[in-house]
Amino acid sequence: DPFSLCRLIKDCKPFSEVPVVALTANVAQDAVKRCSEVGINHVLAKPFDRTMLLRTVRYYTVDHQQGEL
C-alpha cells in the first residue's frame, strides 16, 4: 500500500529527505491528513492537471534546490 511504501522510503536514511507526491482520487480531508502523517509531501487529485503536476515536480526539484520555497 502507498502509505507503507512512503514510511519505508522516509525511514531509509539516504532517502529520508526525498519528496513524495501522491496522485490519488481520494482527496477527502482524512485521506490527505493520513498522507501527511506518513510523510507524503504533496497530494494531487486525479484527474490531475498536467500543468499542476509539472509545477509540483519543479517545486520539489529545481525550486527547492535553489532555495526558492
pLDDT digits (tens, 9 = 90+) for 8-57: 999 999 899 899 999 999 889 999 999 999 999 999 999 989 999 999 99
Categorize the per-residue pLDDT at 62 as very low, low, confident or very high, splitting at 50, 70 and 90: confident
How far is 19 from 28, CA to CA, in rounded Å?
21
How far is 53 from 49, CA to CA, in rounded Å?
6
pLDDT at 69 over 80: no
How far is 25 from 33, CA to CA, in rounded Å?
14
Can you give the pLDDT at residue 61? 87
Q: How many CB atoms lie within 10 A of CB 25?
A: 9
Q: Is the pTM of this model over 0.95?
A: no
SS3 at position 48? coil
